[in-house]
Amino acid sequence: MKGFILLFLGIRHHHAAFGGDHYIQYMYGCSWDDETGEADGFRQLGYDGEDFLVYDMKRFTWIAPKQQAVFTQHKWNSDQAGLVFWKNYISQTCIDWLKKYLDYGKSTLMRTVSPSVSLILKTPSSLVTCHATGFYPSGVMVFWQKDGQEQHEDVEHGETLPNNDGTFQKSTHLTVTPEEWKNNKYQCVVQVTGIKEDFIMVLTESEIKTNWVRVITDDPAHNIVPHIGVVLAVLAIICCCWVCHWKKKQSEKCELTGTTLERVS
């Protein structure tokens, strides 16, 4: 894990002799790599967006990139107490504070959350989506493989998006026909920064989430379901027609009987 501290200060001042408002920028910081133990630091002064004085960390002395800064360079380099102070501060004190900040924030900075991976087929088409969600940190790679080799053609990568709980999500889409992925081994691989384990989902019928059943199977047992529904619907219509016809006949019979009785009376 690498750490870095940066302090930036900008000051605007009015200098009539140099044509109005001017800006002074002051910046210093340090960095530390806990794996190699390498530490570094810097300190520099800018004037109107350009380097004015730069502190050389190897020789611990000031360097003047511009001629206008030479006078200040000699003055600050003659201040031995100031040079010793900044040498100790950048190479020791700043690093100590950086280590403390990293230790305080370790629970957040080094937190990792494994993703949940799904294969989604929303419509009866050849577009299969590999969706990874709930992972942390945001650094992630989601890609498709065919027979162990990364697939680049017919692949579309989505953006990494934030979730409401602070985790992230990302989708990658693959255009492939059912016949092709049944005859080859397609799999989605998810790699999250900070997690050594790869998360792999093999493209099979049992892993796909979809509301459209017929697109993922040729089994007649699945395809017979809609046919049964059609037959039942036709039978229901026939029954309704027969009932309506029977009621109509009964109504005509009642009217005829009533008319006959009236004539007899």
Helix (H, G, I), strand (E, B) or coil at 124: coil
- Non-local CB neighbours of 50 within 8 Å, separated by 6+ positions: 65, 66
Mean pLDDT of 65-70: 87
Residue 262 has pLDDT above 50, yes or no: no
pLDDT tens per residue across span 122-134: 776 778 999 999 9
pLDDT band at 243 (very low <50, low <70, confident <90, very high): low
To the nearest whole percent, how much of the chain has pLDDT over 70?
A: 70
- CA atoms of 87 and 89, how far apart (whole Å): 6
Per-residue model confidence (pLDDT) at position 90: 84
Amino acid in the structure at residue 33: D
Which residue in 131, 118, 181 sits closest to 154, CA to CA? 181
Query: Which has the minimum average pLDDT: 121-135, 141-155, 229-243?
Result: 229-243
Do the bridges between strand 149-151 and strand 155-157 make them parallel or antiparallel, or are there none, so unpaired? unpaired
Q: 42: closest CA among 52, 29, 61?
A: 29
Q: What is the pLDDT of residue 252?
A: 55
**Residue ranges, CATH 2.60.40.10, the chain:** 116-216
Q: Give the C-alpha separation, 7 to 85, whole Å.
A: 17
* 147 three-class SS: coil
Please provide the size of the chain in residues. Answer: 265
Average pLDDT of the residues in 140-160: 94
- CATH code matching the domain that covers 2-109, chosen among 3.40.50.1100, 3.30.43.10, 3.30.500.10, 3.40.50.10610: 3.30.500.10
In this prediction, residue 159 carries a pLDDT of 95
Q: Which residue has the higher pLDDT, 160 or 44?
A: 160
- CA angle (74, 80, 82) in 5-degree steps: 90
How confident is the model over 77-94, as pLDDT tens digits? Answer: 999 898 888 888 888 888
Other beta carbons within 10 angstroms of residue 130's beta carbon come to 25
At the topology level of CATH, where does 116-216 sit? Immunoglobulin-like (2.60.40)
Residue 175's DSSP bridge partners are 127
Q: Where in the chain is the domain with CATH 3.30.500.10?
A: 2-109
Average pLDDT, whole number, for the chain? 78
Q: Which of 8-17, 143-152, 183-192 has the lowest mean pLDDT?
A: 8-17
